[in-house]
Amino acid sequence: MELVHVSPTSLESLARDLEANGTPIGAEKSEIVNITACPGSDRCRFAMIDSISLARTLDEKFFGKEMPVKFRIAISSCPNSCVSERLNEIGITGVVRPYRVPGTCTGCGTCV
């Protein structure tokens, strides 16, 4: 989660509140710090995979796991790359094979 437009004078109070409710804080640790996903198949007509469920599964299993460096994972449901998954340490892009536009040929040999 990213909190924006927080006044610097509120940071200490906000950190205490987050700690009190069990929300881990800090994204500059040498661990898996961020797992993000695009809106996915429930909300996007271009989605090819269920990015939200995959992100939840990865978050439950890996969030906070110690790594040699800060580590981020991002999942995009299609090649449109809404979450810029290619800029993360692990980026997952949903595609369906063969991926082609009707009436065109990719040259892969699967067209009839």
* Among 4-8, 67-71, 90-94, the range of highest mean pLDDT: 90-94
SS3 of the chain: the string is: CCCCCCCHHHHHHHHHHHHHCCCCCCCCCCEEEEEEECCCCCCCCCCCCCHHHHHHHHHHHHCCCECCCCEEEEEECCCCCCCCHHHCCEEEECCCCCCCCCCCCCCCCCCC
| pTM beyond 0.85, yes or no | no
pLDDT digits (tens, 9 = 90+) for 22-43: 887 766 678 888 899 999 998 9
Output 77 or 1, whichever has higher pLDDT: 77
